[in-house]
Amino acid sequence: MAHLLMIESWVGAMSSLLPRAINESGHRFTFMTRDLHHYLRAAPAHPHPLLAADNVLTAETNDVPTLLDHVERLHAVLRFDGVISSCDYYLPATARVAAHLGLPGPDPDAVERACRKDLTRTTLREAGVPGPRFALAEDWPALAKAAAELGYPLVIKPVDLCAGMYVRKVTDESELREAFAAMEAFPVNARNQPRVRTVLVEELLTGPEVSVETVTVDGTTHVVGVTDKSVAGDPWFVESGHMFPADLPTDDAEAVAVAAIEALGLDRGVAHTEVKLTPDGPKLVEVNPRPAGNQITELVRRVTGIDLPAAYAQLAVGERPDPRPADTGVRSAAISFLLPPRSGLVSAVRGAEALEAAPDVVDWTVKRPGHRAGDPTSNNSYLGHVVVTDSAGLGARTRAEQLVGGLSVDYAEVPA
């Protein structure tokens, strides 16, 4: 039985899925956080993931040099066999802790390159991996000049945020300035880490988007499968649903994802790589050096039997996971998300009784009355989800969307 140190976590699905995977792999973990209340406030529907930890420790996880010294002292007492995190904001620190302790894990610099969109873009351009035309800017004059040279419409992105936060399509300089001002007004992320001021602006890619789910071991990347996704909320890019496997030709997208992982130098890890299938061929959107969120790993597990969070945990302790699929009897699995029509205080989500009665629904949830909904501008704004499986074919996506379409949201107040 190996002992993992988990440094922070997301508070969504992976906050339960990764602890479950560690325990089902026969291992145990100690959880470390700088802010315990961040997790207690989340009130997950499942048994709280912190209850599965052998120890819950508090430490300053945002200061890497201090963290390295602190974990080294803990390691002398608790003896860790691996270090892990599901939260993008702590993946580079986690890799540095593992390297500092001489434990298995990916190259910290490679993880940093993958987690920073500016470093990803420059690295992959030098390696010849297809992606959008782009520019980087540190201030408004440089950004306005770069955008004019690239030509509108464009996509503006912060280089160090997640879940689609502040990612927006802009069609002119006025919209660009508005988006830039919104980023400037958000100087620290949700974990109180100072943000990088660099802004990425890139050409707007058109076509379906997919994500390639992979496991890389000793320099060889195994493609577990490809997920297709629905995106809503123009000018925002909110992921409104996913289906595994993708109902699209994906060989070229897989090749781009593998090339990107190799160019970044990622090894001994699980990755979730997003690719746009444009009329000019597949182009890289981003590489996430951890298992997919939004319950995509559960879709993969229901179809293939492969538990990607478990593979992630196994790699963290030096084990070699088996990426071969099994026949589960499920041909497709999909999740569809309920997006808020607007911001406001939710008084009820109607229609959920149909989800309870549907035999093909394997998981669902909706927010309770009293939830304060935000505007539907990122993947943090969901009011619920439905997960459907199809044993006959690729019908799970249509069915999940149909069920979410039967839900409606009531608000406690009328907008002014």
pLDDT at residue 220, rounded to an integer: 97
pLDDT at residue 39, rounded to an integer: 87
What mean pLDDT, rounded, does the chain reach? 95
Q: Starting at the edge strand that comes first in sequence, how are the strands of the sheet with 154-158 ordered? A: 134-137, 199-203, 154-158, 168-170
CA–CA distance, 108 with 27 (Å, rounded to integer): 24
pLDDT at residue 44, rounded to an integer: 53
Neighbour-count burial of 208, counting CB atoms closer than 10 A to its CB (0-12 exposed, 13-18 middle, 19+ buried): middle
pLDDT at residue 215, rounded to an integer: 98
CA–CA distance, 396 with 298 (Å, rounded to integer): 14
CA–CA distance, 255 with 248 (Å, rounded to integer): 15
Domains in the chain, CATH or no CATH each: 3-103 (3.40.50.20), 133-203 (3.30.1490.20), 209-411 (3.30.470.20)
* Of 6, 152, 142, 24, the residue nearest 74 (C-alpha): 6
Residues in contact with 413: Cβ distance below 8 Å, sequence separation at least 6, in sequence order = 344, 345
Q: What residues in the chain have per-residue pLDDT under 50? A: none
* Of 57, 58, 54, 49, the residue nearest 19 (C-alpha): 49
* Of 90, 179, 105, 127, the residue nearest 284 (C-alpha): 127
Which pLDDT tens digit goes with each residue over 387-410? 999 999 999 999 999 999 999 999
- Contact (Cβ atoms closer than 8 angstroms) between residue 214 and residue 274: no
Strands 3-7 and 28-33, how do they pair?
A: parallel
Which pLDDT tens digit goes with each residue over 357-385? 999 999 999 999 999 999 999 999 999 99
What secondary structure, in 3-state letters, does the chain show? CCEEEEECCCCCCHHHHHHHHHHHCCCEEEEEECCHHHHHCCCCCCCCHHHHCCEEEECCCCCHHHHHHHHHHHHHHHCCCEEECCCHHHHHHHHHHHHHHCCCCCCHHHHHHHHCHHHHHHHHHHHCCCCCCEEEECCHHHHHHHHHHHCCCEEEEECCCCCCCCCEEECCHHHHHHHHHHHHCCCECCCCCECCCCEEEEECCCCCEEEEEEEEECCEEEEEEEEEEEEECCCECEEEEEEECCCCCCHHHHHHHHHHHHHHCCCCEEEEEEEEEECCEEEEEEEECCCCCCCHHHHHHHHHCCCHHHHHHHHHCCCCCCCCCCCCCCCEEEEEEECCCCCEEEEEEECCHHHHHCCCEEEEEECCCCCEECCCCCCCCCCEEEEEEECCCCCHHHHHHHHHHCCEEEECCCCC
CA–CA distance, 102 with 79 (Å, rounded to integer): 12
